[in-house]
A and B are shown apart, each in its own frame.
Chain A
Amino acid sequence: MLRRTLWLIAGASLGAVACKDSTSVTDLNNVSAEALSGGLTRASTQLLVTGLINSTRGDLDSRYIVFSESMARDFYRLDNAENRYITETIGGPADYSGFLGGGAFSQFYVTVRAGNTILNALPSATGLSAAEASATKGLTRTFNAIALYRTLELRDSLGIAIDVNHPIEDPPAAFVCKPNALASISASLDSAAAELAAGGTSFPFTLPGGFTSNGKFDTPATFLRLNRAFKGKVELYRGLSRQKPNAGSFDAAITALTAAIGANPTTAAGMQDGVYNTYSTNAGETRYPIADANIFLNPAVGDSILAGDARKSKIQTVASKSLFGVTSTYKTVLTDPANLTRPAPIIKVSEMILLRAQAKIEKNDLAGATADINLVRTLDGGLAPIAVPATKAAAIDAVLYEKRYSLLAESAQRLVDLRAYSRLNATYLKKELSGDIFQSTLPIPKRELDTRGVTSISPTCS
Chain B
Amino acid sequence: MISQNSGAPGGGMQVQLRGVTSINANSSPLYVIDGIIVSNTAINNGLNSITTAGAGVTNSQDQAVNRIADLNPADIENIEVLKGASAGAIYGSLASNGVIVITTRKGVSGRPSGSVTQRFGQFTLARKLGLRCFGSAAEVTKAYSAADAAEYTANGGACHDLEQQFYSGNPMSYETDASFRGGSSATTYYVGGLAKRDNAIQRNTYYQKQSMTANVSQVFGSHVTVRANNEFVHSLTDRGISGNDNNDIISPGDVFASTPTWVDLQSGIRNPWLPSGSNAFQNADLVKTPEDVYRYIGSVNSSVSAYTSPRQALDFHFIAGVDAFSFNGKIVSPPDAYFEPNDGLPGTIVANKSQNVSANLNLSGAHKFISDLVTATTSFGVRQGRRQSNTLVNRGQNLPAGVSDVNFGVVQTVSENQFLVKDFAYYAQEEMLGLGERLLLTGGVNFERTSVNGDDKKFYAYPKTALSYRIPFLPKFTDELKLRVAYGKAGNQPPYGYKFTTLPISVYDNVLGARPSTIAGSPTIKPETSTEFEGGFDAQFFGGRAGVDFTLFKKNVTDLILSASVANTSGFSTRLLNAGSLQNTGTEIGLSATPIQRNNLNWVSRTTFANVDGRITSLGGLPCFNGGSFFSTKYGAPYVCEGYSPSAVQARNGWDSTFTSAGAFVSRARRITTFESAPDFNMGFSNEINIGPVRLYTLLDWRHGGKVANLTNAYFDPVTNDNLGFLADTAASHARNDAVNINGASYLEDAGFVKLREISLAYTLPRFVTQRIFSSLTQDVRLEVSGRNLKTWTPYTGYDPEVSNFSNQNIGRFQDVTPYPPSRSVFVSLTANF
A binds B: yes
Binding site for B on A (CB under 8 A): 2-3, 6, 10, 13-14, 17-18, 21, 23-25, 27-36, 46-55, 57, 78-83, 86-87, 91, 95, 97-99, 105-106, 109-114, 116-117, 160-161, 164, 166, 168, 172-173, 206, 208-210, 278, 280-286, 291-294, 321-322, 324-325, 336-340, 433-435, 445-448, 450-453, 455
Known: A81-B715, A98-B631, A209-B509. 4 other contacts (CB 8 A): A6-B304, A10-B363, A27-B497, A54-B506
Asked if B451 contacts A448 (CB within 8 A), the reply is no
In-complex Cβ contact of A337 among B254, B343, B449 (8 A)? B343
Which segment, of B125-133, B211-219, B411-419, B601-609, faces chain A? B411-419
- Smallest distance from the beta carbon of A350 to chain B beta carbons, Å? 24
Could you list some 7 contacts between A and B, CB below 8 A?
A23-B451, A27-B500, A50-B512, A50-B513, A54-B507, A450-B623, A451-B567
Answer whether A340 and B344 are a contact pair too, CB < 8 Å, given A21-B422, A24-B451, A294-B275.
yes
B473 at interface by CB-CB < 8 Å: no
- Smallest distance from the beta carbon of B495 to chain A beta carbons, Å? 12
In-complex Cβ contact of B567 among A27, A110, A452 (8 A)? A452
Give the docked Cα–Cα distance between A294 and B414 (Å).
27
- Smallest distance from the beta carbon of A232 to chain B beta carbons, Å? 26
Asked if A33 contacts B502 (CB within 8 A), the reply is yes
Asked if B509 contacts A35 (CB within 8 A), the reply is no
Asked if A10 contacts B365 (CB within 8 A), the reply is yes
- Which residues of A have CB within 8 Å of B417? 29
In-complex Cβ contact of A293 among B276, B365, B568 (8 A)? B276
Answer whether A33 and B569 are a contact pair too, CB < 8 Å, given A24-B456, A294-B275, A324-B719.
no
B138 at interface by CB-CB < 8 Å: no
Asked if B410 contacts A80 (CB within 8 A), the reply is no
Asked if A82 contacts B246 (CB within 8 A), the reply is yes
In-complex Cβ contact of A2 among B307, B382, B414, B422 (8 A)? B307
Give the docked Cα–Cα distance between A206 and B513 (Å).
11
- Which residues of B have CB within 8 Å of A21? 384, 422, 424
Binding site for A on B (CB under 8 A): 145, 245-249, 254, 257-258, 274-276, 304, 306-307, 314, 316, 341-345, 361, 363, 365, 382, 384, 398, 410-414, 416-422, 424, 426, 449, 451-452, 456-457, 497, 500-518, 520, 565-573, 575, 623-626, 631-634, 637, 652, 669, 715, 719-720, 741
Asked if B275 contacts A293 (CB within 8 A), the reply is yes
Asked if A280 contacts B509 (CB within 8 A), the reply is yes
Asked if B451 contacts A36 (CB within 8 A), the reply is no
- Which residues of B have CB within 8 Å of A18? 382, 424
Asked if B515 contacts A30 (CB within 8 A), the reply is no
Give the docked Cα–Cα distance between A291 and B421 (Å).
42
Asked if A55 contacts B515 (CB within 8 A), the reply is yes
Give the docked Cα–Cα distance between A206 and B508 (Å).
11
- Closest A residue by C-beta to B339: A293
Asked if B570 contacts A164 (CB within 8 A), the reply is yes
- Smallest distance from the beta carbon of B742 to chain A beta carbons, Å? 11
Answer whether A97 and B634 are a contact pair too, CB < 8 Å, given A3-B314, A13-B363, A47-B513.
yes
Asked if B513 contacts A48 (CB within 8 A), the reply is yes
**Majority DSSP secondary structure for residues of B touching A:** mixed
- Smallest distance from the beta carbon of A366 to chain B beta carbons, Å? 41
Give the docked Cα–Cα distance between A99 and B246 (Å).
13
- Which residues of B have CB within 8 Å of A99? 632
Give the docked Cα–Cα distance between A97 and B412 (Å).
35
In-complex Cβ contact of A52 among B413, B510, B515 (8 A)? B515
Asked if A447 contacts B508 (CB within 8 A), the reply is no
Give the docked Cα–Cα distance between A116 and B419 (Å).
32
- Which residues of B have CB within 8 Å of A453? 623
Asked if A27 contacts B502 (CB within 8 A), the reply is yes
- Smallest distance from the beta carbon of B140 to chain A beta carbons, Å? 14
In-complex Cβ contact of A81 among B249, B314, B509 (8 A)? B249
In-complex Cβ contact of B719 among A87, A97, A116 (8 A)? A87
- Smallest distance from the beta carbon of B736 to chain A beta carbons, Å? 14
- Smallest distance from the beta carbon of B24 to chain A beta carbons, Å? 17
Asked if B509 contacts A31 (CB within 8 A), the reply is no
- Closest A residue by C-beta to B51: A81
Asked if A172 contacts B719 (CB within 8 A), the reply is no
Answer whether A168 and B520 are a contact pair too, CB < 8 Å, given A53-B513, A95-B632.
yes
In-complex Cβ contact of A166 among B276, B570, B720 (8 A)? B570
Asked if B506 contacts A47 (CB within 8 A), the reply is no
- Which residues of A have CB within 8 Å of B505? 30-31
Give the docked Cα–Cα distance between A390 and B231 (Å).
89
Asked if A286 contacts B508 (CB within 8 A), the reply is yes
Asked if A97 contacts B516 (CB within 8 A), the reply is no
In-complex Cβ contact of B508 among A97, A160, A208 (8 A)? A208
- Which residues of A have CB within 8 Å of B575? 168
